[in-house]
């Protein structure tokens, strides 16, 4: 929808992105050149944020805060006591940091536990395999599942060989193309194998690199299809079995999984704000998720994103800045199960959707940023390019397409502009959902740069005289 402008006596009629008109007793809608000039005036503020975050007293603060939490609590699986402990710690941290309206919003989230698990190759030789059960998987009987392997490289091959699958363990050795394409095997692998009569499925880890490291993640069952146990295996074992099969070897595996699903658990999205000075009802939302999988420390996914989001508000507060709109920090719960906490937040707050100028989520790592991914109208993208130009001092100025995030997708799909941080995804998916996701992956200087980007973008957008235009 194009912006429509009508002039009445002393009244400005502006059609907002929601399609609803509002009246403003101020100047007429400005040209893009005037908006560019307004953004340019934030150069000194952007420099102050960058200096504080990257070179000043706040240098490395987000890293140190994150290390304290994950070293204290560890991984934070949906439904676990460690997640709820982390939420309570963060609630206290945000209050002690002097942020406003710190509160917890209750939600219901899935509760699954992996239990003890193992996989042993019995033929053609004995080999203990490294595995990680996939989220919400059912367990095996106590004696496990022992069966011959049917190895395939694609869903198409599984369909072609469906007659061979009954009573077997289907092993997927799909090549890694990119995460969004290859993750379909993790998500749908068990269902597709069950449809052709398999007893269990093992999926090559969805990873860009492996040092014999299985990578877990969510998988989804389908109504009317038997639920079979499913786990991920290492890239190395998947490729080894592929070579064995190519030589004509028969492979037999014994799989044992103690996984259990429980009733939904109580949890919270954690919220804090810097209340806007002029339009407090309007919101720029910055976020990351506090939950993780139950391996490693959940430092990279998504401790880093959650903590640079907190850091963004801390930096702005420390500089005595208060934007015109409210800056709202949300630390999501149960993102890994499909944005469960975020969806309930959306349902509770969508009545005010016309007041959301921008939703931001960092959930792709906090390594040295390449720039910002953005989804929104052409006019909004042009404004974001000008905002990113303020980050020239740290050479992070690019605006890419496809701003995304499991937790903010509901808002984006409804037309709210959305932004996400883009950095080294090859590195990210090397450690993603694995035991390797620890503080060792994190770099304090890179986190400080990421926090500076997050703070500058969120503050400037929140302080502009007008909300970002929607389509």
Catalytic residue annotation: 335
* CA-CA-CA-CA torsion sign (238, 244, 248, 251): negative
Nearest alpha carbon to residue 460 among 43, 61, 14, 100? 43
342 preceded by a cis bond (ω within 30 of 0)? no
Phi, psi of 354 (to 5 degrees): -70, -15
First-last CA distance in the chain: 5
Cβ–Cβ < 8 Å for 295, 216: yes
């Amino acid at each position: 929808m194009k912006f429509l402008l009508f002039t009445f006596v002393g009244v400005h009629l502006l059609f907002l992105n929601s399609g609803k008109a509002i009246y403003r007793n101020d100047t007429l809608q400005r040209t893009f050149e005037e908006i560019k000039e307004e953004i340019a005036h934030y150069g000194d503020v952007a420099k102050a944020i960058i200096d504080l975050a990257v070179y000043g007293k706040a240098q490395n603060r987000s890293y140190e805060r994150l290390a304290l939490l994950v070293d204290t609590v560890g991984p934070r699986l949906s439904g676990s006591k460690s997640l709820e402990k982390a939420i309570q710690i963060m609630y206290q941290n945000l209050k002690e940091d002097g942020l406003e309206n710190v509160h917890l919003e209750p939600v219901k989230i899935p509760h699954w536990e992996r239990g003890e698990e193992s996989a042993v190759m019995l033929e053609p030789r004995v080999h203990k395999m490294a595995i990680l059960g996939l989220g919400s998987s059912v367990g095996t009987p106590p004696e496990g599942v022992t069966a011959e392997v049917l190895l395939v490289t694609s869903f198409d091959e599984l369909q072609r060989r469906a007659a061979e699958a009954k009573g077997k363990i289907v092993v997927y050795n799909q090549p890694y193309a990119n995460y969004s394409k290859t993750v379909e095997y993790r998500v749908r692998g068990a269902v597709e194998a069950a449809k052709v009569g398999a007893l269990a499925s093992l999926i090559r880890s969805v990873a860009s690199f492996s040092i014999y490291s299985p990578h877990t993640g969510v998988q989804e069952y389908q109504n009317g299809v038997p639920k079979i146990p499913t786990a991920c295996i290492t890239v190395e074992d998947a490729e080894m079995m592929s070579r064995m099969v190519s030589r004509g070897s028969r492979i037999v595996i014994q799989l044992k999984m103690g996984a259990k699903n429980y009733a939904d658990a109580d949890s919270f999205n954690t919220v804090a704000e810097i209340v806007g000075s002029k339009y407090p009802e309007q919101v720029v939302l910055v976020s990351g998720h506090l939950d993780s999988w139950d391996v490693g420390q959940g430092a990279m996914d998504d401790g880093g994103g959650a903590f640079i989001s907190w850091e963004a508000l801390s930096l702005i507060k420390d500089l005595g800045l208060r934007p015109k709109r409210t800056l709202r920090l949300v630390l999501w719960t149960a993102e890994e199960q499909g944005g469960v906490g975020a969806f309930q937040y959306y349902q509770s707050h969508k009545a005010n959707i016309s007041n959301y100028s921008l939703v931001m989520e960092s959930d792709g790592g906090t390594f040295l940023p390449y720039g910002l991914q953005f989804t929104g109208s052409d006019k909004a993208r042009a404004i974001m390019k000008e905002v990113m130009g303020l980050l020239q001092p740290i050479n992070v100025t690019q605006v890419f397409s496809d701003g995304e995030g499991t937790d903010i997708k509901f808002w984006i799909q409804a037309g709210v502009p959305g932004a996400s941080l883009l950095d080294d995804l090859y590195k990210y998916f090397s450690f993603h959902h694995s035991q390797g996701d620890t503080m060792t992956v994190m770099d304090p200087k890179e986190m400080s740069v990421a926090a500076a980007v997050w703070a500058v973008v969120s503050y400037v957008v929140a302080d502009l005289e007008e909300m970002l235009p929607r389509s």
